[in-house]
Amino acid sequence: MKQIAQQLRMGILDRVVFLQEFLKRPRQVASIVPSSRFLERRIVEMAEIRSARTVVELGAGTGGTTRAILGAMAPDAKLLVIEINPQLCELVGRITDARLIVHCGCAHELESVLASYGLAAPDAVVSGIPFSTINRVTGLQILDTISAMLAPGGRFVAYQVSDQVNALTSPLLGSAQIEVELFNIPPVRLYRWEKRAPARAAGPR
């Protein structure tokens, strides 16, 4: 009973903090409530988290999706969270898990952040960054970095209200697999890209 009561209190606290940060920075947070468990489950499945060894989450919010990813990850996997909002970064940093690394900074710093923690190229990148509300140049810079840093065969999954991320990412990673999660406030689209392995050079004949 105590554990259930604690989870309920944490859930309420998450929603209060999320709403406060939305009111302060609506272009950065872009939603009034955290992701639903239905959306979290869909993200984990589309990104194939269970088979990933290095996972990156961009824009963790209050950590609901972070916990879902950790719950599906292998024991020897690593999750790097990059969150630009200091208040939300502190909240996610309270999650106790040896596999979790929380970095407060900008998503376009992904390459240098991975190197600073000695992490391999990510097998999966999950992003809740609202690409429809951030500066287009910044958005392109983030997506170009994701495309460059993904391991061959790696998955990039973005969950968005707008289709803007699709228009920006398709020239980099090709056509997206698109799904819709209605059991979320608001309903969102999920986009999945997979980085193709480079073609092998033909051997001598």
Domain ranges of the chain: 35-194
Are 52 and 135 a contacting pair, CB within 8 Å? no
Low-confidence ranges of the chain (pLDDT < 50): 2-24, 26-30, 32
Cis peptide before 186 (omega within 30 of 0): yes
Look at residues 103, 195, 187 and name the one whose alpha carbon lies nearest to residue 155. Answer: 195
pLDDT at 34: 79
C-alpha span between 11 and 4 (Å, rounded):
10
- In CATH, the architecture of 35-194 is 3-Layer(aba) Sandwich (3.40)
User: Two tokens at 45?
Assistant: 């499945």
What secondary structure, in 3-state letters, does the chain show?
A: CHHHHHHHHHHHHHHHHHHHHHHHCHHHHCCCCCCCHHHHHHHHHHCCHHHCCEEEEECCCCCHHHHHHHHHCCCCCEEEEEECCHHHHHHHCCCCCCCEEEEECCHHHHHHHHHHCCCCCCCEEEECCCCCCCCHHHHHHHHHHHHHHCCCCCEEEEEECCCHHHHHHHHHHCCCEEEEECCCCCCEEEEEEECCCCCCCCCCC
pLDDT at 21: 41
Residue 92's contacts (CB-CB under 8 Å, 6 or more residues apart) are 60, 61, 62, 63, 66, 81, 83, 102
pLDDT at 160: 95
pLDDT at 166: 97
pTM beyond 0.85: no
pLDDT at 138: 95
Question: Would you say the C-alpha torsion 114, 138, 19, 156 has a positive or negative sign?
Answer: negative
